[in-house]
Structures are given as structure tokens and as C-alpha cells.
Amino acid sequence: MDEIRLIIASDSVGETAELVTKACTSQFNQFGKALDTVRLPYIETHENVDEVISIAKEQQSIVIYTLVKPAIRKYMKEQLEENQLKHVDIMGPLMTILTEELNEQPLNEPGMVHKLDEDYFKKIEAIEFAVKYDDGRDPRGLTKADIVLIGVSRTSKTPLSQYLAHKRYKVMNVPLVPEVDPPELLFNIDPAKCIALKIDPEKLNAIRKERLVQLGLNDDASYAQDQRIHEELAYFEKVVSRIDCPVIDVSNKAIEETANEIIKIVTSRRSSKS
């Protein structure tokens, strides 16, 4: 045979089977023989399997398949054996072993790898978004964000943004400082996606003093003085009342606890609007 024909049959797009096939064929010099590979995706019915068998018989092809639905996989195997066609079931044997070892039935849903990939890329996109729009750098992020965090300095806005990004939420945070007006767009976006982070003045004072010490600065700087803190918190209340958004007290909460509360609020408010 001057040409070896391979059919890659899958109930999804067939990338998994093609990658395995390429990994195997790359180990051979082929000695002048050509490899003709055809991918046949979305094999989901008996009729689809019959088409694969017909093509394989006509071309005397080797069939490499990844089928997760047991009934279709069983029918494929039966037809291949009946027609004495060479074949490789890439997923079936391992699925059987895992079912026994895990004592759990598989989902049997085609395309799960690509769903996982999509989920991964959404997470990366959310993380990049949080970095890009951290600390109110670009007001244009307000319309694109899933969640907008508002608060004075040292209310965990940045770590919360990153934590929520790992949950695939695009988060922008906006610092509130009396001397700087927040972007006007903040008052025009949907308040349902805004969350204000409140903190106890004494707790904030302790956090800021500790931060100054970490930076090698004097802890009696105006940044950590009671008068300044009360001034900032009063400004915070003014802005929040204008936006009319939910407020979470983060004084004694862990990042995870606050994040879960944010997700619940945002989810419930969206549901009530739909």
C-alpha cells in the first residue's frame, strides 16, 4: 500500500483524536508512504456511524475514534469488527477503567475538553481585566465590568478583584478620595453591579498604620490619622448614597467571605431584574 488512510471520527470536533494520531505517526519515517488523514466530526447517530463505515470500507482506512456516548461507541465497535476494519478506540478503554475505579458514571457529554478550555480562557480574560482596570485606571472599564467595587484605600479592593476574577467575573475597582471626583460614568452604569466596601474607622486606622510601617514610613502620617479617615469615610457615604448600591462591611471579613457575599448580591439583583 503506497498510501495509508486514516479516518478520525469524533462526536465533537475531533481534535483529541487528531493530536493522538499525529503523536503516533510522527514516530515513523513512513518509508515513502503517504498518510491521508480525514477528520469526521460530530458522529452522534447510528446513521453517522454508518457513513464512517462506508467511507472506511471504500478506502480501506484505519478508523481512530473518540466517542463518549456508550451506545454510539458500542455500535461503532460492532460495525468496525463486522466489516473487519482496523480501528482504535482512544477513549473507551480508559473511560471503562475510570468508571470502575471512581465508582462513578461519566457525564457522557461530547466536547467537555473544549468547555473546560473555554472556562480557562474566561478566567484568564477576567484576571487580565482586573489588572488592567485596577484602582480606577481607565473609566471605560466601568461599562465592561461585571462587578464594580467602590471603597476608600485599604478596603481590599484589589485582592477582592483578583479573587473574583478567578471565579470568572470581570471586576473593576474604584478608589474614593475626597480630593478626586469619581468618574461621572460611575453614576450612570447599572447600580446592580456596584458594591461598596465599608470599614470600621478603627480597623482602617490599624491597617493603614501597619501598611505605613511595611513601607518604612512614619505611622503618624495623615494617611492614618483619625481625622483623615473620618473625612474619607464621610465622602464614601456621600458617593454611595448617590449610586444607591449595596454596602458590605469588610471590617472583620476574610477575602473569601466578602467575595461570596458579593457574588450572592450581584447574582440575586440580576435575577430580580430579569
Task: Confirm whether residue 66 is marked as ligand binding.
Answer: no
DSSP 180: B
- Among 114, 120, 101, smallest CA distance to 11 is for 114
Annotated binding-site residue? 13: no
Residue 141 among known ligand-binding residues: no
Give all strands (DSSP E) within the chain, no chain letters.
3-10, 34-40, 62-66, 87-89, 147-151, 171-175, 194-198, 247-249
C-alpha cell at 146: 461585571
Task: Flag whether 152 is marked binding.
Answer: yes
Half-sphere exposure of 209 (CA within 13 A, CB side): 10
Asked if residue 216 belongs to a known ligand binding site, the reply is: no
Tell me the residue type at 175.
Answer: P
C-alpha cell at 117: 478550555
The residues, ordered by sequence, that sit 6+ positions from 138 with a Cβ below 8 Å of its Cβ are: 132
As a whole number of Å, the end-to-end CA separation of the chain is 63
155 is in an annotated binding site: yes
Residue 26 labeled ligand binder: no
Q: Read out DSSP for 209-250?
A: HHHHHHTT--TTSGGG-HHHHHHHHHHHHHHHHHHT--EEE-
86 is an annotated ligand-binding site residue? no
Grid cell at residue 61: 482506512
3-state secondary structure of 262: helix
Residues 6+ apart with CB under 8 A from 14: 8, 39, 40, 41, 66
| Binding site listing for ADP | 151-158
| Binding site listing | 151-158
